[in-house]
Structure 1
Amino acid sequence: MIFFGWGGKSLSKQVSPQHVVVRTYRYFHLMFLFRVAFKYSYQLATAGPQGWMHRPMSDEEALQALGGEHLSPNWWQRFSIWILPVGIAVAIALGNLATLGS
C-alpha cells in the first residue's frame, strides 16, 4: 500500500483559439486523500505548426490574460493535509480537558 507520495498537476484555460494559460503545481499526499499543493507557476501554451510551445508567464501577466480569474486547485487539494495535525491537536486538547474535569 502506498502511504505517501508526491507529483505534479496542471490546470488550464483556453483564452483564445491559439492560446491556453496553464498553471502547474506540485503536491504531496498521504494515502491519496490528504494533500497539500505548492510551487505554483503559470505558462502560456501557443499552438504552432509543430505542436504546442510553452513560455513562462508572471502571475500578473496570467491574471490579465485570464481576466482576473485565478486557476487554483480546490481548497481540499490545497490544504487538506493540515486537517490531520489540527485534528490530532483537538483530540489531545479534548482528552486533557476531560481528565481535568474528572
Structure 2
Amino acid sequence: MKNLGKISVIVLFLLSIFVGSFTVYSISKVQSYGTLINYLGIVRGATQRLVKLELQQQPHDELISTISFMTLKTPTVNTVWKKFPMLIISSSFPPSIHYGIG
C-alpha cells in the first residue's frame, strides 16, 4: 500500500509539471498572437492614413518607410506590402492617364 501511495504522488507530481509546462507554453503563444495583432492594427491604421494622404496629393515618404519597417516583423504582410507602394504611385496619376481620356 505504501508503494501505491508513493507512485500516485509521483504520478500526480509529474502530471502537474506537464500541465504547468503546457499552460506556460499556451500563454506565451497567446502573447505572441496578441503582439502580432497589435502590429497588424498599427500597420492597418498607418496604411489607411497613407492612402488618405496620397488621395489628397500629399505624399508622405516617411510614413511609407515606417510601415515598411513595421511589416518586417510579419513576413506575410511584408510580401504584400512590397507591392503596395507601386499601387499607390500608379493610382496617384489623374484618371485621364490611366484610361486614355482626353
Common topology (TM > 0.5): no
Higher helix share: 2
Normalising by structure 2, report the TM-score: 0.30
Higher strand share: 1
Relative contact order (C-alpha < 8 Å, sep 6+): which is higher? 1
Task: Report the structure number with the largest CA radius of gyration.
Answer: 2
